């Protein structure tokens, strides 16, 4: 995956990014760090073409461009990207199993869609249950997502992303909404499952120890550009904290 | 003692507001004049009302089995019309809701159609369908269907637009289409609102189905019109009582179902 000359200009003419370049190799685990408001999440969304005013000459999976392409083609490319959001974004009234099975619907031709576990073929239900078991929630399969805790919901969201069998997993501060203990558990589980699937991983993290522990490489975003690109073990947490940490990082 | 003087009594007075007030009052007086409203004339009708009520008694109980048949048809007419309205309104949501529509122009066209269905009164729809498909309950069911599309199309679309955008974005981010978003997120999330709206539509349809009979669209309304035309006031009173019971029963069942759904939600 190669992002080249990524730019993002807001409606008021303000440029957030101008000519950002970076590439990620297959199977690599990359953390994107930066202070609050540095544009870490926006960078990923813009690179994915999810922000209308963003432009890039880069190539995504298989050398396909992500910008200036039809909606149908973008959807086909996004099918191969598992996106884990800051907030789990599950369907609250749907069961955990149905939410996981939603991840499988994009694996098939649009003429065959699965929107509910009750209507899903047996092999998808089995696969969904296996993933729920791997995230430790098989016994909550028929609970509505609204009845799960924050940590449990985020684990279901991880299972949903893995159900896509993605080539690339993108996580936007996946544990930001969780308490430290649940966050650590979820991050550990998430990192292990992604590694088991041999997927490439890019995650945004506000928590520098996570970036150092779970990534092979770190990209630092500051003032609308990437001003750090190094191996995860090349700099200490203190060094990174001085440049990219926020004042409220003490409680991290 | 304070030296500051109190504010003027009419501190919010504006000539334009005063002008609107005067215009409103003039419209009200003109309206009562136009309908030749006369309280004494209404009071003179009192003895006639008493006579009518007297003629309505005793109620025509022997006609009840025949009337119940017609009442049942009226109820079924409302069920069929509302069900058709629901079936047609649901796919319209895909084009009429802001978060699901493929294009704003499509949304505008579909919304205009829905508004048209709603603004044409059900009695007019009934008159049209009586001409198109002939006298009888089918005309009534089709009239209710058009009215339900107008009502449910609007409320279903609004309920869809009110749903949390997070889960919708999650499905879009994994490459899901508009249909995927609608079926996997919006429909299950908005289901309590949809069901509640559909039950309201059903109540509304039962009340409407009674009136539709007056223009030949079948059901108990036709019986009511015939009884009134033939001065069979004891039968008419029986019909009014049965209609009252039906409307109250439907409202009660609907309220309980709605309570169960919202409670379950």
The reported pLDDT for the residue numbered A249 is 43
In a domain, A249, yes or no: no
Number of C-alpha atoms within 13 angstroms, CB side, residue B178? 15
The reported pLDDT for the residue numbered B265 is 47
| DSSP-assigned beta bridge partners for residue A170 | A83, A202
In a domain, A250, yes or no: no
ipTM for the assembly? 0.83
In a domain, A252, yes or no: no
The reported pLDDT for the residue numbered A57 is 61
pLDDT digits (tens, 9 = 90+) for A19-49: 777 888 888 899 998 888 788 888 887 777 7
Residue A8 has pLDDT above 70, yes or no: yes
Residue A250 has pLDDT above 50, yes or no: no
Q: A183 Cβ partners below 8 Å, 6+ apart?
A: A151, A175, A176, A207
Q: Report chain A residues whose CB lies below 8 A from the CB of B166.
A: 85, 87, 89
How many domains are there within chain B? 1
Check which CATH number belongs to the domain holding B150 and give it. 1.10.3720.10
Smallest Cβ–Cβ distance between B169 and the set A89, A94, A106 belongs to A89
In a domain, B71, yes or no: yes
How many domains are there within chain A? 1
Check which CATH number belongs to the domain holding A131 and give it. 3.40.50.300
Q: A207 Cβ partners below 8 Å, 6+ apart?
A: A175, A183, A252
Answer yes or no: are the C-beta atoms of A46 and A54 closer than 8 Å.
yes
Answer yes or no: are the C-beta atoms of A84 and A91 closer than 8 Å.
no
A62 confidence band (pLDDT: 50, 70, 90)? low
The reported pLDDT for the residue numbered A55 is 63
In a domain, B164, yes or no: yes
Q: Report chain A residues whose CB lies below 8 A from the CB of B102.
A: none
CB contact under 8 A, A89 and B183: no
Answer yes or no: are the C-beta atoms of A39 and A94 closer than 8 Å.
no
Residue A97 has pLDDT above 60, yes or no: yes
Q: E strands of chain B, at which residues?
A: none
Number of C-alpha atoms within 13 angstroms, CB side, residue B234? 10
Most confident of A59-73, A79-93, A228-242, B83-97: B83-97
Q: How far apart are alpha carbons B214 and B126 in whole angstroms?
A: 10
Token output for A158: 């991880």
In a domain, B228, yes or no: yes
In a domain, A62, yes or no: yes
In a domain, B142, yes or no: yes
Residue A176: exposed, middle, or buried by beta-carbon count in 10 A (0-12, 13-18, 19+)?
middle
| Residues in chain B, pLDDT under 50 | 265
Answer yes or no: are the C-beta atoms of B142 and B80 closer than 8 Å.
no
The reported pLDDT for the residue numbered A74 is 80
Which run of H or E residues covers position B107? helix B104-119
In a domain, B94, yes or no: yes
In a domain, B37, yes or no: no
The reported pLDDT for the residue numbered B137 is 87
pLDDT digits (tens, 9 = 90+) for A186-245: 888 888 888 888 888 999 988 888 888 889 999 888 877 888 888 888 777 777 777 777
The reported pLDDT for the residue numbered A252 is 37
CB contact under 8 A, B167 and A92: yes
| DSSP-assigned beta bridge partners for residue A95 | A144
pLDDT digits (tens, 9 = 90+) for A101-144: 999 888 877 777 888 888 889 999 999 999 999 888 999 999 99
Q: Report chain A residues whose CB lies below 8 A from the CB of B174.
A: 78-79, 81-83, 102-103, 106, 161, 164
Q: How far apart are alpha carbons A205 and A225 in whole angstroms?
A: 17
In a domain, B195, yes or no: yes
CB atoms within 10 A of CB B46: 9
The reported pLDDT for the residue numbered B164 is 92
Which run of H or E residues covers position A34? strand A29-34
Residue ranges of chain A whose CB lies within 8 Å of a chain B CB: 48, 50, 74-83, 85, 87, 89-94, 102-103, 105-106, 110, 113, 115-116, 157, 160-161, 164
The dihedral built from the CA positions of residue A210, A46, A71 and B194, taken in this order, carries a sign that is positive
Which run of H or E residues covers position A9? strand A2-9
The reported pLDDT for the residue numbered B1 is 57
Which residue range(s) make up the domain with A42?
2-244
Q: How far apart are alpha carbons B23 and A41 in whole angstroms?
A: 57
The reported pLDDT for the residue numbered B220 is 87
Best mutation target among A64, A83, A93, A94 (most B Cβ atoms within 10 Å) is A93
Range of weakest confidence among A65-79, A145-159, B221-235: A65-79
Most confident of A14-18, A38-42, A245-249: A38-42
The reported pLDDT for the residue numbered B155 is 95
Q: What is the DSSP string of B138-206?
A: HHHHHHHHHHHHHHHHHHHHHHHHTS-HHHHHHHHHTT--HHHHIIIIIHHHHHHHHHHHHHHHHHHHH
The reported pLDDT for the residue numbered B120 is 94
Smallest Cβ–Cβ distance between B174 and the set A79, A90, A92 belongs to A79
Q: How far apart are alpha carbons B263 and B258 in whole angstroms?
A: 8
Answer yes or no: are the C-beta atoms of B212 and B205 closer than 8 Å.
no
Distance from CA of A39 to the nearest CA of B (A): 19
Q: B147 Cβ partners below 8 Å, 6+ apart?
A: B81, B85, B117, B118, B122, B125, B204, B205, B208
Q: How far apart are alpha carbons B246 and B208 in whole angstroms?
A: 12
A251 confidence band (pLDDT: 50, 70, 90)? very low
Q: Report chain B residues whose CB lies below 8 A from the CB of A156.
A: none
Distance from CA of B68 to the nearest CA of A (A): 41
Closest residue in chain B to residue A95, using alpha carbons only:
B188
Which residue range(s) make up the domain with B138?
61-264
Q: How far apart are alpha carbons B186 and B100 in whole angstroms?
A: 9
Which run of H or E residues covers position A154? helix A150-163
Smallest Cβ–Cβ distance between A85 and the set B170, B180, B191 belongs to B170
Residue ranges of chain B whose CB lies within 8 Å of a chain A CB: 164, 166-167, 169-177, 179-180, 183-185, 187-189, 191, 265
The reported pLDDT for the residue numbered A241 is 78
In a domain, A251, yes or no: no
Closest CA to B257 of B214, B203, B207: B203
Closest CA to A31 of A248, A244, A249: A244
């Amino acid at each position: 995956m190669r992002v080249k000359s990524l730019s993002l200009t807001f409606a008021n003419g303000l440029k957030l990014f101008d000519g950002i370049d970076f590439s990620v190799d297959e199977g690599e685990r990359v953390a994107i760090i930066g202070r609050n408001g540095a544009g870490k999440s926006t960078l990923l969304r813009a690179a994915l073409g999810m922000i209308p005013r963003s432009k890039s000459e880069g190539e995504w999976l298989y050398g396909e461009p992500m910008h200036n392409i039809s909606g149908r083609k973008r959807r086909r490319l996004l099918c191969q990207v598992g996106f884990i959001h800051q907030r789990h974004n599950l369907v609250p009234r749907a069961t955990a199993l149905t939410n996981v099975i939603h991840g499988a619907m994009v694996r098939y031709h649009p003429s065959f869609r699965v929107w509910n576990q009750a209507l899903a073929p047996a092999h998808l239900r089995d696969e969904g249950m296996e993933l729920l078991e791997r995230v430790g929630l098989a016994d909550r399969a028929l609970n509505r997502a609204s009845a799960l805790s924050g940590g449990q919901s985020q684990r279901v969201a991880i299972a949903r992303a893995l159900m896509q069998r993605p080539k690339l997993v993108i996580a936007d501060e996946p544990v930001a909404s969780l308490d430290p203990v649940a966050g650590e558990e979820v991050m550990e589980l998430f990192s292990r499952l992604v590694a088991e699937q041999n997927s490439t991983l890019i995650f945004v993290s506000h928590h520098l120890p996570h970036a150092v522990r779970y990534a092979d490489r770190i990209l630092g975003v500051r003032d609308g550009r990437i001003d750090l690109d190094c191996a995860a073990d090349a700099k200490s947490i203190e060094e990174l904290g001085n440049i990219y940490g926020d004042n409220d990082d003490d409680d991290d | 003692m304070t030296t500051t003087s109190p504010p003027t009594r009419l501190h919010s007075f504006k000539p334009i507001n005063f002008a609107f007030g005067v215009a409103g009052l003039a419209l009200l007086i003109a309206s009562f004049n136009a309908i030749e409203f006369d309280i004494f004339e209404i009071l003179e009708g009192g003895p006639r009302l008493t006579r009518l009520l007297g003629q309505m008694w005793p109620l025509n109980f022997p006609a009840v089995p025949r009337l119940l048949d017609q009442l049942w048809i009226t109820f079924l007419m409302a069920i069929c019309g509302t069900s058709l309205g629901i079936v047609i309104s649901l796919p319209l949501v895909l084009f009429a809701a802001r978060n699901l529509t493929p294009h704003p122009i499509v949304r505008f066209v579909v919304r205009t159609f829905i508004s048209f269905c709603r603004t044409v009164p059900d009695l007019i729809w009934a008159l049209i369908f009586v001409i198109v498909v002939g006298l009888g309950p089918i005309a009534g069911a089709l009239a209710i269907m058009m009215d339900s599309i107008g009502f449910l199309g609007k409320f279903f679309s609004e309920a869809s637009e009110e749903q949390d955008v997070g889960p919708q974005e999650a499905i879009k981010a994994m490459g899901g289409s508009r249909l995927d978003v609608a079926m996997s997120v919006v429909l299950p999330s908005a289901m309590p609102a949809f069901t509640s709206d559909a039950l309201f539509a059903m109540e509304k349809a039962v009340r409407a189905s009674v009136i539709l009979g007056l223009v030949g669209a079948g059901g108990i309304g036709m019986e009511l019109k015939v009884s009134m035309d033939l001065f069979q006031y004891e039968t008419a009173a029986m019909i009014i009582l049965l209609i009252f019971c039906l409307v109250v029963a439907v409202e009660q069942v609907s309220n309980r179902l709605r309570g169960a759904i919202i409670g379950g939600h």
